[in-house]
Amino acid sequence: MSTLEIRDLHVSVATEDGAKEILKGVDLTVKSGETHAIMGPNGSGKSTLAYSVAGHPKYEITSGSVTLDGVDVLDMTVDERARAGLFLAMQYPVEIPGVSVANFLRAAKTALDGEAPALRTWIKDVNGALERMTLDRTFSQRSVNEGFSGGEKKRHEIAQLELLNPKFAILDETDSGLDIDALRIVSEGVNRFSQQGDRGVLLITHYTRILRYIKPDYVHVFVAGKVAESGGADLAEELEANGYDKYTKAAV
Ligand code: ADP
Ligand code: MG
Ligand code: MG
C-alpha cells in the first residue's frame, strides 16, 4: 500500500508581470488501488498540478507538500521521482528527434531499474505493449513523438506506462484528440495498469467521455487552482449534466 499525498500546495509561474499564483492550496490524497478523476475547465491549473508533482522546473512551489509514503517528493530530482514510482503522461508530449521509441523506452527502463533490461524479454515486452496499443512494430524505430498523430502520442504514452509500471500514474488529458476506437484502446490500457493491483491513477480530464471506460473511485472538480468539490463517480454525471458553472461562479 502506497499513498501519494498533496497538502495545501501553492504553485506559481514566472510571467512578464512577475510571479503568478496558479495553484492555490491543492489538497488531494491518492492511495494505491484507487483511480481519481480530476475534472475542470480549461486554465484551472490541472496541468500545472501534474507538472508540479512531476518536478517541471518552470513551476515554483511556494508552499505546501507532496509526499509519497511520507517521503518528501518536492525534494527529489525528476529522476528520483520516477524511481520512487511516479509517472506523468503529459497533455502535450514532447518530440525527441533522433531518438527512437525503442531506445527511449530502453533508456527510461534502464534509468528506473539502475540496469539495462535483459534484451530478449525486453524486446518481447516492448512488442507486446505496442501491439496492445495497436501500434505496429515499425513504430519502435520512429523518433519519439515526431510526426505522431494525436492518437499515436497517447497510445505511446500508455505503452510506456505499461512497460515502466510505476506506483502512481498521472495522466493529463490522455483522452484529448482521440477518436472513439483509440479512446477505448487507451482506456483499456489504463484499466490493465490499474488492475495490476496496488497502482494509483490520477486521471486529469476535461470531458466525461473517458469515464465511460475508466471508472473512477473518486471525482474531484478542479476550479481556479484548487479542488472545489470531491465525490464519487456520480459527481461526473452531475458535471456532464450541469457543467462547471456552479463551481466557477462560486470560485470568483
Ligand atoms: P489546465 O491544464 O487546467 O487547462 P494549466 O495548468 O495549463 O490549466 O494552466 C493554468 C493557468 O496557468 C493558465 O492561466 C495558464 O495560462 C497559466 N500557466 C500555466 N503554465 C504557465 C507558464 N509556464 N507560464 C505562464 N502561465 C502559465
Ligand atoms: Mg488546458
Ligand atoms: Mg491542461
- Of the listed ligands, the closest to the CA of 16 is 1
Task: Output the pLDDT for position 252.
Answer: 66
ipTM: 0.94
Q: Per the structure block, which three cell numbers stand in for 29?
A: 490524497
Architecture of 3-251 per CATH?
A: 3-Layer(aba) Sandwich (3.40)
Rounded to whole angstroms, the Cα distance separating 73 from 28 reads: 14
Spans of all domains in the chain = 3-251
Task: Output the pLDDT for position 221.
Answer: 97
Q: Which residues line ligand 1 (CB under 6 A)?
A: 13, 15, 22, 40, 42-48, 58
Task: Output the pLDDT for position 198.
Answer: 87
Atom 13 (ligand 1): residue with closest C-alpha?
Answer: 43
- Of the listed ligands, the closest to the CA of 41 is 1
DSSP 8-state assignment for residue 58:
T
Rounded to whole angstroms, the Cα distance separating 246 from 250 reads: 6
Q: What atom of ligand 1 comes closest to residue 204's alpha carbon?
A: 2
Q: Which residues in the chain show pLDDT less than 70? A: 252
- Of the listed ligands, the closest to the CA of 45 is 1
Q: Which amino acid is at 158?
A: I
Task: Output the pLDDT for position 2.
Answer: 95
Task: Output the pLDDT for position 251.
Answer: 76
Q: What atom of ligand 1 comes closest to residue 42's alpha carbon?
A: 4
pLDDT digit string (tens) for 123-163? 999 999 999 999 988 999 999 999 999 999 999 999 999 99
Q: What atom of ligand 1 comes closest to residue 59's alpha carbon?
A: 23
Task: Output the pLDDT for position 215.
Answer: 94
Task: Output the pLDDT for position 177.
Answer: 84
Q: Give the up-direction half-sphere exposure of residue 92: CA atoms within 13 A in the CB hemisphere.
A: 2
